[in-house]
């Protein structure tokens, strides 16, 4: 099964779940975003729970994800609550369909750790291009210290594919820093959730 079909299936099978804002969205909002306003891009937004959280906090939000099932459920939630956000089916490994310096904030929760090194580098360049100067890029990815690191077939350094076909690229602090040329890193921290995942959480400001 190709990666995209895995995500379509996961989103279909979890209909009605994952509709609450995540701990990461609340953490970054209260620590870095509560005095900010403007345009926010949620990369690989899934069913949009975090996008809706930021919308409710006053941001003008666009969410993109390549799963049409996720965006369908996101749109149904918007209809139910009578709200309107931009939500599009889009593969984030392709050129982002936005002008230079469009966004004040770019956010991604577990959305940028699926791609090989070259694609990840290109994606980070695109993120920098569409972010305004002094704009914030806030993201959470799986860490190299995650319990699942090393499971499955090795694709590249720190990147593995499991039997189902699901691919993960685990980030070290050094790797994240190397991708963030042209940014001031305001926070880079590992967060270990006992018995569950270990994440790397990063907040960076474009120079
Ligand atoms: C772990 S989920 C996170 C969803 C959401 N950010 C959240 O926290 O609930 C990862 C998401 O990445 C999306 N995704 C994976 N590869 C993608 C790509 N190349 N372009 C856009 N979205 C992608 C999947 O469809 C899925 O919704």
Look at residue 16 in the predicted model and tell me its pLDDT: 86
Look at residue 66 in the predicted model and tell me its pLDDT: 97
Helices (H), 94-195: 117-130, 173-179
Look at residue 195 in the predicted model and tell me its pLDDT: 85
Look at residue 28 in the predicted model and tell me its pLDDT: 98
Q: What is the CATH number of the domain that holds 25?
A: 3.40.50.150
Measured from CB, residues less than 6 Å from any atom of ligand 1 are: 7, 18, 22, 44-46, 49-50, 65-67, 70, 91-93, 109-111, 114
Instruction: Measure 64 CA to ligand 1 centroid, in angstroms.
Output: 9
CA-CA distance, 162 to 95, in Å (whole number)? 27
Residue 107 φ/ψ, nearest 5 degrees = -130, 140
Closest among 91, 108, 98 to 42, alpha carbons compared:
108
Residue 148 φ/ψ, nearest 5 degrees = -90, -5
Look at residue 29 in the predicted model and tell me its pLDDT: 98
> CA 91, 123, 45 angle in degrees (round to 5)?
50
CA-CA distance, 192 to 199, in Å (whole number)? 6
CA-CA distance, 109 to 44, in Å (whole number)? 8
Instruction: Measure 98 CA to ligand 1 centroid, in angstroms.
Output: 19
Q: What is the mean pLDDT of each run of 10 residues along the chain (207 residues)?
A: 87 90 98 97 98 98 98 96 96 97 98 97 98 98 97 97 92 98 98 94 98
| Host domain of residue 47 | 3-206
């Amino acid at each position: 099964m190709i990666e995209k079909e895995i995500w379509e299936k996961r989103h279909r099978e979890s209909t009605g779940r994952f509709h609450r804002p995540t701990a990461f969205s609340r953490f970054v909002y209260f620590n870095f975003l509560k005095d900010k306003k403007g345009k926010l891009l949620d990369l690989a937004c899934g069913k949009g729970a975090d996008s809706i959280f930021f919308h409710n906090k006053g941001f003008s939000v666009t969410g993109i994800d390549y799963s049409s099932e996720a965006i369908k459920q996101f749109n149904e939630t918007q209809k139910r609550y009578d709200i309107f956000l931009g939500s599009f089916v889009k593969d984030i490994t392709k050129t982002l369909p936005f002008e230079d310096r469009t966004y004040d904030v770019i956010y991604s929760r577990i959305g940028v750790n699926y791609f090989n090194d070259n694609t990840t580098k290109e994606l980070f360049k695109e993120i920098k291009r569409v972010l305004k100067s002094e704009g914030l890029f806030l993201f959470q990815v799986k860490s190299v210290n995650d319990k699942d690191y090393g499971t499955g077939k090795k694709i590249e350094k720190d990147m593995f594919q499991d039997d189902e076909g699901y691919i993960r690229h685990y980030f070290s602090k050094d790797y994240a820093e190397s991708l963030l040329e042209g940014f001031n890193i305001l926070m880079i921290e590992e967060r270990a959730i006992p018995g569950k995942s270990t994440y790397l959480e990063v907040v960076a400001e474009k120079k």
